[in-house]
Amino acid sequence: MSNLTEPEIKILDAAKKVFESFGYGGARMQQIADEAGISKASLHYYFRSKEKLFDHIFDETMAEFLPIISTWGEEDSEDWEKKIRSFIKNLYSFFRTKSLLFILREINRNPELLYAKKKGKDKKNRFIPYFEKLRDAGKIKDIDIRFVYILLHSMCAYPVINGTLFKMTLNTTDKEFDHMMEDYPDFVADFLIQGIKKNKK
């Protein structure tokens, strides 16, 4: 957001809240203007349409998300266990603080949004070959890496998506839940590493 003006930042923050509450289809420009505390005419001055707002939020979110994903494309000597711990912490933090979850909901409703955005771009999933190489080297168990990929992302995203439900069923306050979840990324990393790591004989 470094190149944005203060009014643009305010509008985008308002748009995220409205999109979160009503979805892309249900959101109205007047609602976004009201949330931002400006007139609808002023909103149109900065962003001509709801689509332009969504595109900006999507592109901004992906620009922050892609460096996290690129972890698996980096060829370095870092231990894979350290790498996965770092990835889980970054991914979980991203889900908690960014707009990706509402974007994912919109993509599930309308997959064409993602196909249009990814057109002409690198579509390779670097996670799979990274862990296949570890499997072939005998460092992790002989397992389907696709399941690991799904499990890892699910474990990071699900507590964020269903935080309200977990607070109710665990009978915790917001503060208690947030405090408990500070240890969650390390727990997930330990659980996943122990689950896939090949035991030494």
What does the block give as tokens for 126?
């670097």
Residues 176, 129 share a domain = yes
Query: Do 71 and 32 reside in the same domain of the chain?
Result: no
Residue 201 inside a domain? The answer is no
For position 128, which CATH number holds? Answer: 1.10.357
Report yes or no on 38 lying in a domain: yes
Has residue 96 been placed in a domain?
A: yes
Tokens describing residue 101: 């979850």
Domain that holds residue 21: 1-48
Q: Are residues 108 and 127 in the same domain?
A: yes
For the chain, the domain total comes to: 2
Q: Are 68 and 137 in a shared domain?
A: yes
- Which secondary structure element, helix H or strand E, spans residue 83, and what is its range? helix 80-97
Residue 188: the pLDDT is 97
Radius of gyration of the chain (CA): 20
Residue 184 located in a structural domain: yes
The count of C-alpha atoms lying within 13 angstroms of the C-alpha of 56, restricted to the half-sphere facing its C-beta, is 19
Residues 165 and 102 in one domain: yes
CATH number at residue 24: 1.10.10.60
- Alpha carbons 118 and 121: distance in angstroms, whole number: 5
> Assign residue 78 a region: left if phi > 0, alpha if psi is -120 to 50, beta otherwise?
beta
Q: Does any domain span residue 129?
A: yes
Residue 180 has pLDDT above 60, yes or no: yes
- Segment 14-50, tens digit of pLDDT: 998 898 888 888 899 999 999 999 999 999 999 999 9
**Looking at the structure, do residues 23 and 108 belong to the same domain, yes or no?**
no
Nearest to 96, CA basis, from 151, 158, 148, 54:
158
For residue 118, tell me if it sits in a domain: yes
Q: Are residues 85 and 183 in the same domain?
A: yes
34 with 109, same domain: the answer is no
Convert the pLDDT of each residue in 126-173 to its tens digit. Answer: 889 999 999 999 999 999 999 999 999 999 999 988 999 999 999 999
The pLDDT of residue 36:
95
The answer to whether residues 66 and 119 belong to one domain is yes
Beta strands, E only, 76-186: none
Residue 103 near residue 58, CB atoms below 8 Å: yes
